[in-house]
Structure 1
Amino acid sequence: MGIATEYILEELRLARASRGMSQEEFGKTINYSGSHVSSVETGGRPPTEPYMIAIDDAFGTGGTYKRMLERLAHLDATPVWLREWIEFERMATLLRWYEPAFVPGLLQTEAYARATLIGVRLTPEEVDQRVASRLGRQALLAATTPPQLVFVIDEMVLRRPIAGQPGVLAEQLEHLAKCAELPHVQVLVVPAEVGVYPGLQGGFILATQPDSSLAAHLDHQIRAQIIDQPAELASLQSTWETIRGEALPKRQSLDLIKEVAKTWT
């Protein structure tokens, strides 16, 4: 946990203690459970933007806690919505990631990450920043106690060309195959012959937290969205099980990745 995050958690604990409130009382006031408050204060869950806004609204603090979170995001030049998710991702004990369009960010090479940003309206500095952030998140793969990581990708991810840069995809698929052989990583492929299936509606990530709670990440054209509502999470988990059921087993998926990689060399 970074110093900035520790500072915010300390401020949240003080916000409650200074009012003489228990975690249960504090939670009731901001419409969260006491266990949720406890998990945030001890670092089991990240302090999200809705959580901070709820504190501001309940105690009339004029947006102080929301701004605190924004300043934390500014310290690492990462947008608030992405920084929230990175905290969920960093603390996860299990990450389940489905991607129909690109190699998942945690498994991307630098060249591939840059190629995915071609045509996006970003300055060179912003591209560098996004690539650095994406690559920095990959430290999760080599953590002392890494989460279990299960990735499901559509076969077209392996076959979609990068204009004028076949070598980039060849390098990427070789890297993907190496990652798939790590003991805590599974990379499964939904083969083309499956045809239309529910996952084609869009990618998502499910992150199981140390307290067994669940959060999800949906990536849209403009920004990402964090989902933590039980009904929506249940729907995404059902979709995940359907998608995974269509995917090839681990060994067959790895064989397919290696086979397609040869076509790009």
Structure 2
Amino acid sequence: MGTATDYVREELRLFRAAQELSQDDFGRVIGYSGSHVSSVETGGRPPTREYMNAIDEAYKTGGRFARMLRELSKLDHTPAWLREWIEFEREATLLRWYEPAFIPGILQTEAYARGTLASGLLLPDEVDQRVASRLDRQSILTREEPVPLVAVLDVMVLRRPLNDHPGAMAEQLAHLVKLAELPHVQILVVTEDAGVYPGLQGGFILATLGDGSVIAHLDHQVRAQVVNVTDDLASLQRVWETVRGEALSRRQSLKLIKEAAQTWT
């Protein structure tokens, strides 16, 4: 966890202490449970925009904590709408990621990330910023206590050309093989034999947090959406179980990725 986020957590704790309120009492004032307040202060959950807004509104702070969160997003040059999810990723005890169209961002090489982002409507400076942010996010897989990841990919992800850059695809799939061999990373592949299956309408990520709760991420054309509504989460978890069930085993998937890598050399 970065020191900037630690600073925000400490400011939240000190503010509550200044009100001479327990976590339960503070939570009642802002409309959250005491366990939620505790989890934010101790790092089990990241402070979200909604949480900060609730404090600002309840205590008439003039937007102090919402501004603090915005400033935090600027420190690492990450778009504010993405920063919230990145904090969830860093705090997660498990990430489950399904992707039918691209290599998941957390597994991308710089060339692949640049190729996918440059093909959109972003300006060059914005592409550089997004690539840097995406590569920085990957540190959660290689830090001292890495986040376990289960990624399920549609087989077409391995076969889709990257703007006539076969070398970039070869590098990307070699990188995928290397990561798939890490003990805490599973990369599973759904083959054509699955036919049309529920996950094809869009990718998503499920993050299990330190307090045992689950939150989801949906990526749209313009920006991402964090999902924490119970019914929507239940639906996404059902879709996850379906796509996970359609995927090959870890060993079979690794063999298929290695075979696909050879086709790009």
Distance across 2 between alignment mates of 1:153 and 1:45 = 27
**Superposition misfits of 4+ residues, deviation over 3 angstroms:** none
Equivalent residues in 2 for 1:104-119, closer than 5 Å: 104-119=104-119
Equivalent position of 1:123 in the other structure: 123
Equivalent position of 1:157 in the other structure: 157
Distance across 1 between alignment mates of 2:6 and 2:182 = 32
Distance across 2 between alignment mates of 1:192 and 1:26 = 53
Equivalent residues in 2 for 1:21-170, closer than 5 Å: 21-170=21-170
Equivalent position of 2:10 in the other structure: 10
- TM-score for the superposition, normalised by structure 2: 0.96
Q: More deviation in 241-250 or 221-230?
A: 221-230
1:9-54 CA-to-partner distances (Å, cap 9, x unmatched) read 1211122122222111111121111100000011111000011111
Distance across 1 between alignment mates of 2:129 and 2:94 = 27
Distance across 2 between alignment mates of 1:33 and 1:199 = 34
Deviation at residue 99 of structure 1 after TM alignment: 0.5
Distance across 2 between alignment mates of 1:231 and 1:15 = 33
User: What is the CA RMSD across the aligned residues, in angstroms?
Assistant: 1.2
Equivalent residues in 2 for 1:188-207, closer than 5 Å: 188-207=188-207
Percent identity between matched residues is 68
Amino acid at match of 1:98: Y
Amino acid at match of 2:14: L
Distance across 2 between alignment mates of 1:231 and 1:33 = 20
Equivalent position of 1:183 in the other structure: 183
Q: More deviation in 78-87 or 37-46?
A: 78-87
Amino acid at match of 1:188: L
Distance across 1 between alignment mates of 2:258 and 2:79 = 36
1:190-246 CA-to-partner distances (Å, cap 9, x unmatched) read 101211111111111111112212111111111101112222222211110011001
SS in 2 for 1:162: coil
Deviation at residue 163 of structure 1 after TM alignment: 2.2
Distance across 1 between alignment mates of 2:22 and 2:192 = 54
Distance across 2 between alignment mates of 1:234 and 1:49 = 23
Amino acid at match of 2:256: L
**Any stretches of 5+ residues in structure 2 without a counterpart?**
none
Equivalent position of 1:208 in the other structure: 208
Distance across 2 between alignment mates of 1:8 and 1:60 = 18
Distance across 1 between alignment mates of 2:154 and 2:102 = 9
Distance across 2 between alignment mates of 1:48 and 1:81 = 11
- TM-score for the superposition, normalised by structure 1: 0.96
Equivalent residues in 2 for 1:234-253, closer than 5 Å: 234-253=234-253
Distance across 2 between alignment mates of 1:212 and 1:195 = 34
Amino acid at match of 2:136: G
Q: More deviation in 42-51 or 207-216?
A: 207-216
SS in 2 for 1:163: coil
1:225 paired with 2:263, answer no
CA contact (8 A) 2:118 2:127 kept: no
Amino acid at match of 1:108: Q
Number of residue equivalences: 265
